[in-house]
Amino acid sequence: MKILLTGGAGYIGSHTCVEIVQAGHDAVIADDLSNSKPAVLERLKELTGKDIPFYQIDVADKEKVDEMFAKEHFDAVIHFAGYKAVGESVTKPLMYYRNNIDTALTLLEVMEKYDVNNFVFSSSATVYGVPETVPLVEGMKTGCTNPYGWTKLMIEQILTDASAANKNLSVVLLRYFNPIGAHPSGRIGEDPNGIPNNLLPYITQVAIGKLPQLGVFGNDYPTHDGTGVRDYIHVVDLAKGHVKAIEYADEHKGTEVFNLGTGTGYSVLDIVNAFEKANDLKIPYVIKPRRSGDVAEMYADPKKAKEVLNWVAEKNLVDMCQDSWRWQSNNPKGYDE
Ligand code: WQD
């Protein structure tokens, strides 16, 4: 298949690009580079042995998207492009709704025009809101605590309605848990702008000496050590889930939703300890107040993806910690070197 990866220069998109090409498909990237660097394209060439066609466009720009579709004859789209900072979405909700919803609608309209009927969407476990019970199962109640999450849930709804109305369209919604790690080559990885919001990039920046210490947000949650529990998944496992999902979309119609997680929850302190042990490093930390909007515990029930997509996460926490550190230590300034 020839597959368009919107946001394909980003963290999850770039890792998915490698797996897509390794599975024998052709990848094309559309990315405005607003939260990624052009250097990733060179690295992708190095890892895949292919020049990945690249369009530096805003996926909400319908004219440019239309031109690209006219030229490329895609079989499928994996849609990663979007704003993704939870805190920023609270202060700039309109920017989030405009951008994230607009890009999805634009793609769907242009796909319909060019009769492209396979769509995989990068959704998030954040659509479960504050969980009543764990593990989280796909059929459970949804609802969000911030505009970023609502854009994910709204796009899930738009795609579900679009595939109900257009019997040719097939949609797979992937609800990611907490992607961490990097490609084992150390050539691609997560390169956040500014001070990281997420736990692993924060830890690796403390390890490299860019940040003095980690703040652990709360140690009074009802969890085994009082710190927040999440389902961390290696980004390469997550990327492989996209290959399964796009192949599934090609063979089925309608909409399906899958959790992509490991099914195991680790606390913040579990992660700090595992990172220290895996890399023989010390991560200084202090306990801080809870971060607003955080929940105590989230982890996936990954059964459906196993049964239907024949996908399971294969890498363990040691792999995740070592690969995160290899990326950061080989690229202290990310792609800016
Ligand atoms: C994990 C744990 C924090 C930073 C968010 C979004 C979600 C998804 C991924 C994507 C929590 C604790 C963190 C720090 C800490 N979005 N922590 N100190 O909050 O589970 O998910 O990112 O695009 O939609 O909500 O991930 O990595 O921020 O936090 O103690 O400096 O680490 O409190 O328990 P989260 P995270």
For the Cβ of 242 lying below 6 angstroms from any atom of ligand 1, the answer is no
Q: Which of 96, 128, 148, 232 is catalytic?
A: 148
For the Cβ of 145 lying below 6 angstroms from any atom of ligand 1, the answer is no
pLDDT attached to residue 164: 98
For the Cβ of 175 lying below 6 angstroms from any atom of ligand 1, the answer is no
Specify if 287 maps to a domain.
no
Closest residue (by CA) to atom 9 of ligand 1?
Answer: 178
pLDDT attached to residue 80: 98
Specify if 331 maps to a domain.
no
Q: Are 173 and 258 in contact (CB under 8 A)?
A: yes
Catalytic residue check, 148: yes
Token digits of residue 310: 């024949």
Q: Are 87 and 19 in contact (CB under 8 A)?
A: no
Question: For the chain (length 337 residues), average pLDDT per consecutive 10?
Answer: 98 98 98 97 98 98 98 98 96 98 98 98 98 97 97 98 98 98 98 95 98 98 98 99 98 98 98 98 98 96 98 98 98 92
pLDDT attached to residue 203: 98
Token digits of residue 287: 């306990």
CA separation for the pair 161, 22 (Å, rounded): 33
- Number of structural domains (the chain) is 1
pLDDT attached to residue 337: 72
Specify if 288 maps to a domain.
no
Specify if 197 maps to a domain.
no
CA separation for the pair 131, 335 (Å, rounded): 36
Question: Cα 308 from chain centroid?
Answer: 21
Phi-psi region of 108 (alpha: psi -120 to 50; beta: other; left: phi over 0): alpha
Q: Structural domain of residue 143, as residue ranges?
A: 2-181+232-261+298-313
Strands (E), 226-300: 229-230, 232-234, 254-260, 266-267, 285-288
Question: Cα 95 from chain centroid?
Answer: 20
Q: Are 19 and 78 in contact (CB under 8 A)?
A: no
Q: Are 46 and 20 in contact (CB under 8 A)?
A: no
For the Cβ of 291 lying below 6 angstroms from any atom of ligand 1, the answer is yes
Specify if 65 maps to a domain.
yes
Ligand 1: which of 84, 174, 217 to mutate, judged by most atoms within 8 Å of the beta carbon?
217
Give just the sign of the alpha carbon dihedral 217, 220, 226, 232: negative
CB count within 10 Å of CB 333 equals: 10
CB count within 10 Å of CB 88 equals: 16
CA atoms within 13 A on the CB side of 303: 6
Specify if 34 maps to a domain.
yes
* Amino acid found at 175: R
Specify if 203 maps to a domain.
no
Residue 227 alpha carbon, nearest atom of ligand 1: 34
Closest residue (by CA) to atom 34 of ligand 1?
Answer: 228
Query: What CATH number does residue 41 fall under?
Result: 3.40.50.720
For the Cβ of 124 lying below 6 angstroms from any atom of ligand 1, the answer is yes
Q: How far apart are the first and last CA of the chain?
A: 34
Closest residue (by CA) to atom 23 of ligand 1?
Answer: 84
Specify if 327 maps to a domain.
no
